[in-house]
Amino acid sequence: MTQICVPEIVKPDNSKTYESGPICISGPPASGKSTIGRLLAKKLNLDYYDLDELVAQQEGVKTSREVMEKGVRHFQKISHECLKRTFETIGGPFILSFGGGTIIHLEKGDYKDQNLRIVKKNSFVICILPSKSIHESVNALWPRQSDGKRLTGVKSEQELVPYLERRMPGYISTADRIIYTNNSSVEKTISAVLKSLK
């Protein structure tokens, strides 16, 4: 019997309801944030921005990985500047995708903490996750990790398990809606994201 894969929408306690304004798409590396963000922007006739692309453009390089190679602190600084400028200069609603690490802060007042305050104040955050299960998430994400675009420090499938275990609570706690894709198609995931905005 073929299993029907359907995305699951979760509304965390104390999350807001979408009314208008920017929509942010967050999640772990290779979760499909950019794909979902671009298609969502097309469906809603909105401009789309990818924070990693904005960071690379500001630094005059091809990928954000090249910026990360200059040092984590430098990357965080540039990422913060790009995020802040995006919300300050672009009027009206838009779609912005970024890695969950952008707003999962380590200490009060650091760049990620500042990013979280900007994002929560000015946007509606949708987190894209493969599954509620860490191991199912690893199975979905690891095959996509070898494209050379990401610099996560994760060198094996086994290392991805603790990486996600450390970050999953942060992805969830910073979202207004969580979409567990559950191996469903991009079309079904987009439909779930649109439904989560109603």
Report pLDDT digits (tens) over 83-125: 999 999 998 899 999 987 899 877 888 999 999 999 999 999 9
On the question of pLDDT at 58 being above 70, the answer is yes
Rounded mean pLDDT of the chain?
91
Distance CA 19, CA 133 (A): 31
Q: CA nearest 164: which of 74, 30, 36?
A: 30
On the question of pLDDT at 2 being above 60, the answer is no
pTM above threshold 0.95: no
Q: Mean pLDDT over residues 135-144, rounded?
A: 91
Report pLDDT digits (tens) over 154-171: 888 889 999 999 999 999
Question: Residue 151 — pLDDT band, cuts 50, 70, 90?
Answer: low
Q: Quick one: pLDDT at residue 96?
A: 98
List the domains of the chain with CATH numbers: 8-196 (3.40.50.300)
Largest pairwise CA distance in the chain: 52
Structure tokens at 177: 């809606």
